[in-house]
Structure 1
């Protein structure tokens, strides 16, 4: 079967990923059955409601709000002299090698959630193990902020 230039163009268009326009319509009304005071999510000191967010006793509207998550640090492993010497005492030279291989793990990661509005800026440290939950929380803030009450 011979392909014509028109066939090749149609195939190329079909294989391209969908392109989304920044001006595409976004949902502006909240889902049915949801009222402005419904509690949507919690993370650390933050509580997200359908039309506002709280941090402790502070309460802010979702108008013009943005949220982001910042992760820093890393998990490192290091050999300690205690493990090498302990291994040497217990098992001689082979024990020292095992002690050197058995490294101590240090978690130096930090995770911060930033919530910014027109007249406030909140930053809170969150457990680094909650990275996925923190990113989901930021996405929920952005979604709720788009609803028109």
Structure 2
């Protein structure tokens, strides 16, 4: 059985890669685990993934914190905020299948948009919390 964290990332990637509004805004499916050198802007990357035990006395479970980053070179933060909104909407109320695991819930918890002086780009962060349990 593959890890619940890997299955969750694969499912999120599949949902985002199939979202017509997101693809239109990005220009194509520029969604990366690790962005290639000289990636065309705007694009998304998967960031930090944290997994904690969320088991009860009778059920096994995992709590996941998954971060998606938005990178934009547009003037102003408008494109970054729009992309954050599209990603949050695309993942709202989805129940993708996870191989060997069941997704109990997935919800957005935190969102931030800022200018990154070091790279000269707008950087958005969107953190999700999910709970998974082994498939029956």
Indicate the structure with greater strand content.
2
Larger Rg: 1
TM-score by length of 1: 0.27
TM-score by length of 2: 0.28
Indicate the structure with greater helix content.
1
